[in-house]
């Protein structure tokens, strides 16, 4: 009987070597007669086996392995093929992340992967919140911010030029971070600004710390604060960046920067008018050069004497006592900023005007004497007299002790206004009765025999009485009395006789009148013829001159 000897089946395979920890692919179907093959038996050289046609295998360790494939065909014939397969070391993926990991806060990831002798050419990160990133060059760290709290699966996949890959997945828990916020009031220069913490817990744990930086290094140690709602006085006007960092019990923090504009306090000043006298209204004026009155919302004056204040821009005030008062003006502008200034204001006493006068007679100079008194510590600097005549400019005087001649009699209201060096004044008014002056007049007779002259006063005064007579008969020859006589040493001469009379009011009038003494007389006589022993009558007769007489 014939015996058929069948050749052994053809056996061969190829391998695509992977990396340690990665798959290595084996293929035999392309090199054998699959329909005639009954079974496949693979020995991977690491103690593990497979009966698949084209298996894949994962080598745990890198190295060279002897792989054999034994097949049995349908005739029961067996054949084996052995090849060497070299498995290279694959990369190791790993990473770490910063803590605490908080929402809205940057989380830093650090690549801890190991190339294990290979060359990495791809890094792929997925953050578990729908975002990922890929690098083709090495980045030791990267950052990512989670907007919401929660647990996220973060993965890092590494690839090498040899096609090896490694992936690691790590769960990351993101805690809720607070939402920092704050408000502030009163941003006026030199006044404390109040800050109020408005931080939201945002579902997280309680706040355990506040860190403020007011952006004002010139304030020294006051530039920072750990209070929840601090106050800070900025050193100068301007815009400052204020920073608040809040942290909760989970270690999560949030930072907020806000600009804070410090408004300059408004300028303020005032002055008074030149008249600061007791009993007079003192006017106060806001200095519009320094004070921005258009932006001032409120004025507040304190006059320093305990009386009612004023909210006018330019008030007046009457002080009831003299002295120095501390006057204060405070203002608030439309921004709510305030400023205040004080000045001492001295209220001076007014002088006490007074005067007297003598001989108020028509056509005679009336002497006015100032009796005014200046207040203590002050000096009178001016006098103003008004003599109450109808003609302006002729009835006043600036002398301290003037005289004035009234032409007509009557009653006049005379006033004296005195003023001190501080501008305070007082006026004294007195009635002045100007009397008619008397009228001097006299008659005379002159006798050449006696060389004497006799006068007879005929002077008179309206509603008064003449009280004195002063005569001058000739130079340096005087007399008094109403009707005196005087003997002249020369005859046939005329003399200017002066009479000055004074009435009981002191008014005076003077009259100068010539008095003539006639020349030596000549005389004769007549007689009546009589008989011897009879009486004879003689009669003297003045021939020249006739007796001098004034009418």
Task: Summarize pLDDT for 291-306 with one digit per residue, the tens.
Answer: 999 999 999 999 999 9
For residue range 81-134, list pLDDT tens digits in order.
999 998 888 888 999 999 999 998 899 999 999 988 788 999 999 999 999 999
Count CB atoms within 10 A of the CB of residue 80: 12
To the nearest whole percent, how much of the chain has pLDDT over 90? 58
Structural class in CATH, domain 14-87: mainly beta
User: What pLDDT, on the 0 to 100 scale, is given for residue 190?
Assistant: 87
pLDDT score, position 522: 67
Length, in residues, of the chain = 551
- Percentage of residues of the chain with pLDDT beyond 70: 95
E strands, 393-487, in order: 396-397, 403-405, 410-420, 425-434, 442-447, 452-457, 466-474, 477-480, 485-487
Q: Tell me the CATH number of domain 270-347, given options 3.40.50.720, 2.60.40.10, 1.10.1740.10, 3.40.50.300.
A: 2.60.40.10
Which token pair is 132? 């990922």
The tokens describing 48, both together, are 């593990």
pTM: 0.54
CB atoms within 10 A of CB 243: 17
Average pLDDT rounded to a whole number, residues 402-413: 91
Greatest Cα-to-Cα distance within the chain, rounded to the nearest angstrom: 272
pLDDT above 80 (res 490): no
In the predicted structure, residue 280 carries a pLDDT above the cut 70: yes
The pLDDT score that the predictor gives to residue 414 is: 95
| Reported confidence tier of residue 50, pLDDT bands at 50, 70, 90 | very high
Mean pLDDT of 271-276: 83
- The confidence score (pLDDT) of residue 462 equals 81
DSSP 220: G
What's the rounded mean pLDDT across residues 330-345?
92
Q: Which helix (H) or strand (E) holds 24?
A: strand 23-27
Mean of pLDDT over the chain: 89
pLDDT-derived band at 75 (thresholds 50, 70, 90) equals: confident
Domain at 355-434, CATH from 3.40.640.10, 3.30.465.10, 2.60.40.10, 3.20.190.10: 2.60.40.10
**pLDDT reading at 534 higher than 70:** yes
Q: Where are the alpha helices (DSSP H) in 50-198?
A: none
Domain with CATH 2.60.40.10 in the chain: 14-87, 95-174, 182-262, 270-347, 355-434
Q: How far apart are CA 257 and CA 235, in angstroms?
A: 19
**Contact (Cβ atoms closer than 8 angstroms) between residue 321 and residue 307:** no
Say if residue 321 is exposed, middle or buried (CB neighbours under 10 Å; 0-12, 13-18, 19+). exposed
On the question of pLDDT at 549 being above 60, the answer is: no
> What pairs with residue 338 in β-bridges?
332
CATH class of 95-174: mainly beta
Q: Give the best-scoring range by mean pLDDT among 193-207, 274-288, 438-452.
A: 193-207
Enumerate the β-bridge partners of residue 256: 244
Tokens 């004074």 map to which residue? Answer: 502
Architecture of domain 182-262: Sandwich (2.60)
Give 530 or 94, the one with higher predicted confidence: 94
């Amino acid at each position: 009987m014939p015996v058929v000897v069948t050749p052994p089946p053809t056996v061969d395979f190829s391998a695509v070597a992977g990396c340690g920890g990665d798959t290595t692919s084996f293929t035999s179907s392309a090199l054998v007669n699959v329909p005639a093959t009954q079974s496949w038996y693979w020995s991977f050289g690491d103690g593990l086996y497979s009966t698949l046609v084209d298996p894949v295998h994962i080598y745990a360790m890198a190295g060279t392995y002897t792989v054999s494939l034994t097949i049995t065909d349908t005739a029961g014939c067996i054949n084996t093929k052995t090849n060497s397969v070299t498995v290279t070391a694959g990369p190791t993926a790993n990473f770490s992340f910063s803590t605490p990991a908080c929402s809205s806060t940057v989380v830093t990831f650090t690549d801890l992967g190991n190339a294990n002798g290979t060359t990495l050419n791809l890094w792929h990160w997925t953050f578990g919140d729908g975002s990922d990133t890929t690098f083709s060059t090495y980045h030791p760290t990267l950052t990512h911010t989670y907007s919401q709290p929660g647990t996220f699966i973060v993965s890092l996949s590494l690839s090498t030029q040899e096609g090896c890959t490694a992936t690691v997945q790590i769960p990351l828990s993101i805690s809720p971070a607070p939402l920092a916020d704050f408000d502030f009031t009163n941003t006026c220069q030199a006044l404390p600004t109040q800050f109020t913490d408005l931080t939201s817990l945002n579902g997280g744990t309680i706040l355990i710390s506040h860190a403020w930086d007011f952006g004002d290094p010139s304030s020294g140690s006051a530039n920072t604060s750990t209070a929840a709602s601090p106050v800070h006085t900025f050193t100068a006007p301007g815009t400052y960046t204020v920073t608040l960092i809040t942290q909760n019990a989970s270690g999560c923090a949030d930072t907020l920067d806000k600009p804070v504009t410090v408004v300059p306090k408004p300028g303020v000043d005032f002055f008074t008018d030149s008249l600061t006298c007791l009993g007079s209204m003192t006017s106060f004026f806001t200095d519009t050069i320094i004070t921005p009155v258009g932006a001032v919302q409120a004025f507040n004056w304190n006059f320093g004497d305990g009386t009612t204040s004023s909210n006018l821009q330019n008030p007046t005030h009457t002080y009831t006592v003299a002295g120095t008062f501390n006057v204060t003006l405070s203002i608030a502008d439309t921004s709510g900023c305030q400023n205040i200034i004080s000045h001492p204001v001295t209220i001076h006493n007014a002088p006490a005007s007074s005067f007297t006068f003598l001989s108020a007679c028509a056509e005679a100079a009336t002497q006015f004497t100032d009796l005014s008194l200046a207040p203590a510590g002050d000096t009178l600097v001016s006098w103003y007299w008004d003599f109450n005549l109808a003609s302006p400019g002729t009835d006043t005087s600036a002398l301290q002790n003037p005289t004035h001649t009234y032409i007509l009699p009557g009653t006049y209201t005379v006033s004296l206004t005195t003023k001190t060096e501080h501008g305070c004044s007082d006026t004294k008014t007195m009635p002045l009765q100007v009397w008619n002056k008397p009228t001097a007049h006299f008659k005379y007779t002159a006798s050449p025999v006696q060389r004497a002259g006799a006068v007879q006063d005929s002077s008179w005064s309206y509603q008064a009485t003449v009280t004195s007579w002063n005569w001058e008969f000739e130079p340096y020859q005087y007399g008094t009395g109403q009707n005196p006589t005087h003997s002249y040493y020369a005859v046939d001469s005329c003399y200017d006789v002066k009479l000055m009379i004074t009435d009981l009011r002191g008014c005076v009038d003077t009259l100068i009148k010539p008095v003539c003494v006639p020349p030596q007389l000549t005389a004769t006589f007549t007689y009546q013829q009589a008989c011897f022993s009879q009486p004879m009558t003689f009669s003297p007769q003045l021939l020249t001159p006739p007796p001098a007489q004034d009418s």
